[in-house]
Copies of this chain bind each other. A is one copy, B any other.
């Protein structure tokens, strides 16, 4: 059983990494699955010493890009930026992994990364429109 301490540590780290809005799909399907992800993956493994958070994020991106899975990497481009990786560094990880895992893993990573960028841009636009609407509404009153 995942302890409350591990669960809290996991939630705290998820927030620090800007990942607090992930894992809901797991929570809906199975509470156990969700608690293992929060309390073990983040509350235990990601909370370990010996690597900086930035390095741990690099390791995770590299492993995930190498495995070229259909899902599970998108959110890591976001947290990568949150913990300080630049656009150039993220692209460079793709290029380096591409040499070791094959050209299409670089190309696939690029596609998933672009989906994230496009989604973030769309959300930012929505956010601006909402803020503008709010300002307009305020003026009217």
Chain A residues in the interface with B (C-beta under 8 A): 1-3, 25-26, 28-30, 32-33, 36-37, 40-41, 44-46, 48-51, 55-56, 58-60, 62-73, 88-89, 91-97, 99-108, 110-111, 113-114
Contacts and interface: CB of A to CB of B under 8 A. Distances in A.
6 contacts: A33-B94, A45-B99, A63-B97, A68-B69, A71-B108, A99-B103
A97 to B, nearest CB: 5
A2 B1 CA distance: 11
A56 B94 CA distance: 11
A101 B102 contact: yes
Contact of A95 (B1, B33, B91, B100): B33
A107 B41 CA distance: 12
Contacts of A89: 50-51
**Identical subunits present:** 6
Most chain-B Cβ atoms within 10 A of its Cβ — which of A66, A106, A113? A66
Contacts of A72: 103-104, 107-108
A89 B104 CA distance: 23
Contact of A71 (B2, B32, B73, B107): B107
Contacts of A92: 48-51
Contacts of A110: 25-26, 29-30, 33
Contacts of A64: 66, 100, 104
